């Protein structure tokens, strides 16, 4: 079977597709990846056959990010979801995706939910499509309605096809009810622990607290302040702390580092979660659900995008605590204030002291572990599509 994959830029968007690309390669399927220029090096490093699309006009993208920190969260969601991904990225990527679909003739298009050009091309050419979730289903379902006005010029059935296409998600039903008509859940393998962490703490066996605000948030305005607040919160606690800040962040901007803390640009998540007692993060989907899949409780300090919604899911499941930054829920970046480190500290202490949080996280991990593997899901999905085509 020929399967075309499509993504917008950013590791958080592309990474959920990679287990499917790898699974298809193992199955012997022919694969083709269509991505914007900023993902060209990532795709090349993995050895995937690829076609590279275009980027939206730089000035229009810059104007969106210039407004982003100054508007409410609802307005920010419209700026990024509708104007950037729905309007600008779709227009930029559509020629390359449509050309690939016409020339290469895939049997299936698999895209992440913010990549609409491939959905447009698949709809025009009658190619079956499915989307691989990034965030919680309720968020991605609502975004489709938001982008409907800018997708309308491409055809009046685009939005309906998105809602009816198979929606593939690694999130468990108890945590993430889905509005999509055909939701397929799968088990993504927990990232294996490749090696023990170096002994950065002089032989201490204190509980390990992992602090990470992702590869994007750490480099945005307020990102360094969030890391500083989290490190201030855990300074002096009887714990070991590992903080990762992303390769694009200058560690010198973080300031003084507590004695119990090690700062790294990046560490494989599997190496950390195998021994972590708790994770302090911003609520990005990759970190949040990777942590839950490992059965580790969280303290979530959400800033923007899907992070507040993910934080609510964690809180409702009893798998962690949420500390809303003192900038308040209407502040796009949820800016960290001077009162926040004590609140984060109290949340970390509670999560470590009360075993109920880990029990809830382990319950979700168990539920996730019973779902079909990606290979099993692909076997079922492609067989059904082949039957429908016959």
Least confident of 66-75, 94-103, 177-186: 66-75
User: To 10 degrees, the CA torsion angle through 51, 169, 163, 33?
Assistant: 10
**Residue 331, pLDDT score:** 46
Question: How far is it, in rounded angstroms, from Cα 111 to Cα 306?
Answer: 18
Q: What is the pLDDT of residues 282-326, one digit of tens each?
A: 998 888 988 999 999 999 998 877 888 899 999 999 999 999 988
**Residue 215, pLDDT score:** 58
Q: Please give the average per-residue pLDDT across 323-345, as a whole number.
A: 74
**Residue 248, pLDDT score:** 62
Question: How far is it, in rounded angstroms, from Cα 109 to Cα 119?
Answer: 8
Q: Please give the average per-residue pLDDT across 77-88, as a whole number.
A: 94
Secondary structure, 3-state, 305-342:
CCHHHHHHHHHHHCCEEECCCCCCCCCCCCCCCCCHHH
Question: Burial, 2: exposed, middle or buried (Cβ in 10 Å; 0-12, 13-18, 19+)?
Answer: middle
pLDDT at 329 over 60: no
Q: Could you say which DSSP state residue 206 is in?
A: S
**Residue 303, pLDDT score:** 81
Q: Percentage of the chain with pLDDT > 70? A: 92
pLDDT at 224 over 90: no
Confidence of residue 256 (pLDDT cuts 50, 70, 90): confident
Q: Please, which residues have CB within 8 angstroms of residue 219's CB and are 6 or more apart in sequence?
A: 246, 248, 249
Question: How far is it, in rounded angstroms, from Cα 289 to Cα 310?
Answer: 9
Question: How far is it, in rounded angstroms, from Cα 218 to Cα 224?
Answer: 6
Q: What is the pLDDT of residues 173-209, one digit of tens each?
A: 999 999 999 999 998 776 666 678 999 999 999 999 9
Q: What is the pLDDT of residues 343-361, one digit of tens each?
A: 999 999 999 999 999 999 9
Fold entry, domain 208-368? Rossmann fold (3.40.50)
- In this chain, the answer to whether the domains covering 2-186+372-389 and 208-368 adopt an identical fold is yes
Q: Please give the average per-residue pLDDT across 373-377, as a whole number.
A: 95
pLDDT at 341 over 70: yes
Least confident of 165-169, 225-229, 338-342, 375-379: 225-229
The structural domains of the chain, with segments of one domain joined by +, span 2-186+372-389, 208-368
Report the interhelical angle of 223-234 vs 340-353 (nearest 10°): 50
Architecture category of domain 2-186+372-389 in CATH: 3-Layer(aba) Sandwich (3.40)
**Residue 79, pLDDT score:** 93
User: To 10 degrees, the CA torsion angle through 272, 278, 283, 284?
Assistant: 10
Question: How far is it, in rounded angstroms, from Cα 281 to Cα 299?
Answer: 6
Report the interhelical angle of 18-27 vs 374-389 (nearest 10°): 70
Least confident of 86-95, 327-336, 345-354: 327-336
DSSP for 45-68 reads HHT--EEE--PPPHHHHHHHHHHG
Confidence of residue 216 (pLDDT cuts 50, 70, 90): low
Confidence of residue 373 (pLDDT cuts 50, 70, 90): very high
The per-residue pLDDT of the chain, averaged, comes to: 90
């Amino acid at each position: 079977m020929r399967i075309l994959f499509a993504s917008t830029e950013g590791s958080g968007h592309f990474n959920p597709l990679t287990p499917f690309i790898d699974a298809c390669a193992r199955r012997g399927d022919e694969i083709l990846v269509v991505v914007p220029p900023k993902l060209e090096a990532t795709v090349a490093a993995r050895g995937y056959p690829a076609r590279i699309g275009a980027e939206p006009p730089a000035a229009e993208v810059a104007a969106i990010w210039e407004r982003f920190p100054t508007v409410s969260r609802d307005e920010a969601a419209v700026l990024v979801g509708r104007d950037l991904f729905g309007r600008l990225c779709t227009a930029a990527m559509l020629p390359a995706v449509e050309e690939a679909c016409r020339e290469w003739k895939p049997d299936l298009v698999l895209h992440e939910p913010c990549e609409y050009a491939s959905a447009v091309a698949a709809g025009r050419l009658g190619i079956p499509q499915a989307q691989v979730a990034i965030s919680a289903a309720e968020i991605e379902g609502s975004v489709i309605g938001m982008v409907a006005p800018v997708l309308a010029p491409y055809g009046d059935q685009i939005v309906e096809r998105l809602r009816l296409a198979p929606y593939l998600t690694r999130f468990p039903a108890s945590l993430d009810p889905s509005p999509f008509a055909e939701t397929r859940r799968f088990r993504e393998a927990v990232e294996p622990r490749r090696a023990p962490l170096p002994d950065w703490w002089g032989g201490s066996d204190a509980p390990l607290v992992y602090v990470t605000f992702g590869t994007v948030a750490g480099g945005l305005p307020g990102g360094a302040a969030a890391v500083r607040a989290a490190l201030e919160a855990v300074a002096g606690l009887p714990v070991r702390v590992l903080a990762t800040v992303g390769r694009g962040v200058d560690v010198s901007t973080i300031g003084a580092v507590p004695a119990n803390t090690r700062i790294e640009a990046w560490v494989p998540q599997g190496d950390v979660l195998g021994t972590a007692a708790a994770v302090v993060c911003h609520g990005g989907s990759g970190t949040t659900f990777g942590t839950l899949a490992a059965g580790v409780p969280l303290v979530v300090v959400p800033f923007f995008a899907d992070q507040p919604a993910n934080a609510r899911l964690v809180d409702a499941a009893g798998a962690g605590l949420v500390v809303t930054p003192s900038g308040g829920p209407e502040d796009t970046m949820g800016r960290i204030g001077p009162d926040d480190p004590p609140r984060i500290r109290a949340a970390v202490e509670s999560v470590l002291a009360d075993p109920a949080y880990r029990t809830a996280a382990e319950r979700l991990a168990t539920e996730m572990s019973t779902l079909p593997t990606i290979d099993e899901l692909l076997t079922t999905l492609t067989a059904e599509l082949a039957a429908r085509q016959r």
